[in-house]
Amino acid sequence: MNHEATRTEPIVSPTVRSSNLELFRILLMLMIIAHHYVVNSEIADFFNPTHPTANMLFMTLYGWGGKTGINCFVLITGYFMCQKSFSWQKFFKLVFEVQFYTTVIYLLFLLSGRSFSWGELYQMLLAIPLGVGQSFVGSFLCLYLLIPFVNKLIHSMNEREFRYLLILLVGIYSVIGTFIPFGFYENIAWFVVIYLIGSYIRLYGMLYSRNTASYSWQRV
C-alpha cells in the first residue's frame, strides 16, 4: 500500500480520555508554573554563575521547563486540531475566558491594596493583542486563527513533501537557531512549526500497538 497518501486515524472514541495524556498535561502545567515562579519572582537576579550554590542549582533545575511545556501544549494542539474544523465559538470562548480571569485577578489586586495605574489598566484591557509575539496566550490565539489555513496546507501535501518541509523548518529554527540565537519561542511562526510536527505525528507518526493504549495509531 502507498504510504505517501495514507492518512491514519486514532483508534479511539472522541469521548474516551487518556489518563496518560491528562497526566502529561498536568505535568506540563506544573513545569510552566515552576518556570514562572523562578523567572518572575526575580530569584534568578540573585544567581551568580561564577559562585554557584546548591540553592541556585536547585532553582535552575526547578524552573527549567517553561518553554518545553509551552512547546508540548502546542504539539498536542497540532495532533488533535489537524483533523478538526475551526470553530469561532471555541475561539471567542477562549478569548472571553482569558480576558475574564485577567480582569478578575487585576481587580483582586486592586482590592488588596495595590495602587491604581492607568498603564496597568491599559495592559489588562489589551492583554491579548499586546501579547501577540510576546506571550503564550496572544501568540496561541493567533495560531488558532491560522489553523484552517495551516490544515489546508497539511492535507495538500503527501508524506514525503510534509517530511521535507519539517526538515527544512526544524533546520532553520533548531539547528541554525542553536548557533545563531534569535527569539522565536513566543513567535507565531515557531508555534506553526510545532503545530506541523504534531500534525505529522497524527497523520503518519509512529508505530504503536493496538492493545491497551487509549490514544494510539498505526500505519496500515
Q: Distance (Å, rounded) from C-alpha 108 to C-alpha 86? A: 34
Cell of 111: 482590592
**pLDDT tens per residue, the chain (220 residues)?**
444 444 544 434 444 456 787 888 899 999 988 888 888 777 777 787 778 888 888 888 888 888 889 999 999 999 999 988 888 999 999 999 999 999 999 899 889 988 888 888 888 888 888 888 888 888 999 999 999 999 999 999 999 999 999 999 998 888 887 777 666 556 888 999 999 999 999 998 764 434 444 444 444 3
Exposure of 157 by Cβ count < 10 A (0-12 exposed, 13-18 middle, 19+ buried)?
middle
Query: pTM of the prediction?
Result: 0.77
Contact 220, 6 (CB under 8 A): yes
